[in-house]
Amino acid sequence: MDSILLQILNGLDKGSAYALIALGLTLIFGTLGVVNFAHGALFMIGAFCVVTLQRILNISTVKIDPSKTDFLGNPLEVKTPYVVNWFGEATGNAIINWSVPLAILLAIPVMLLIGYAMERGLIKHFYKRPHADQILVTFGLAIVLQEIIKAFYGANPIPAPAPELFRGSFDFGVLLGMAENSVIYPYWRLIYFAFSALIIGLVFAFLKFTTFGMVVRAGMADRETVGLLGINIDRKFTFMFAIAAVVAGLAGVMYAPINSPNYHMGMDFLVLSFVVVVVGGMGSLPGAVLAGFLLGILESFASMNQVKSFFEALFLPSIDQIIIYLVAIIILLTRPRGLMGRKGVMEE
In single-letter form, the type of residue at position 179 comes to A
CB of 325 to another protein, least distance (A): 5
Q: Which of the ranges 8-16, 81-89, 197-205, 313-321 carries the binding residues for another protein, by CB under 8 A?
A: 313-321
- Residue 19 or 272 having the CB closest to another protein: 272
Cβ burial, residue 347 (10 Å; 0-12/13-18/19+): exposed
Q: Which of the ranges 55-63, 100-108, 125-133, 289-297 carries the binding residues for another protein, by CB under 8 A?
A: 125-133
CB of 29 to another protein, least distance (A): 8
For 126-129, the CB contacts below 8 A with 24+ separation are 126/34, 127/32, 127/33, 127/34
d(CA 131, CA 303): 36
Among 136, 178, 190, 258, which residue sits at the site for another protein (rule: CB under 8 A)?
A: 136
Residues within window 60-99 making contact with another protein, judged by CB under 8 A: none
State yes or no: residue 332 binds another protein (CB under 8 A).
yes
Residues within window 172-191 making contact with another protein, judged by CB under 8 A: none
Count of residues in contact with another protein, rule CB under 8 A: 41
- DSSP β-ladder status, 60-69 and 75-81: antiparallel
Q: Assign residue 264 a region: left if phi > 0, alpha if psi is -120 to 50, beta otherwise? A: alpha
CB of 48 to another protein, least distance (A): 16
Question: How many CB atoms sit inside 10 A of residue 264's CB?
Answer: 15
d(CA 161, CA 100): 8
State yes or no: residue 329 binds another protein (CB under 8 A).
yes
State yes or no: residue 271 binds another protein (CB under 8 A).
yes
State yes or no: residue 317 binds another protein (CB under 8 A).
yes
Residues within window 4-43 making contact with another protein, judged by CB under 8 A: 35
Q: Are the C-beta atoms of 150 and 46 separated by less than 8 Å?
A: no
State yes or no: residue 154 binds another protein (CB under 8 A).
no
Q: Are the C-beta atoms of 39 and 270 separated by less than 8 Å?
A: yes
Among 84, 104, 137, 291, which residue sits at the site for another protein (rule: CB under 8 A)?
A: 137
In what helix (H) or strand (E) does residue 69 lie, and over which residues does it extend?
Answer: strand 60-69
Residues within window 248-267 making contact with another protein, judged by CB under 8 A: 267
State yes or no: residue 1 binds another protein (CB under 8 A).
no
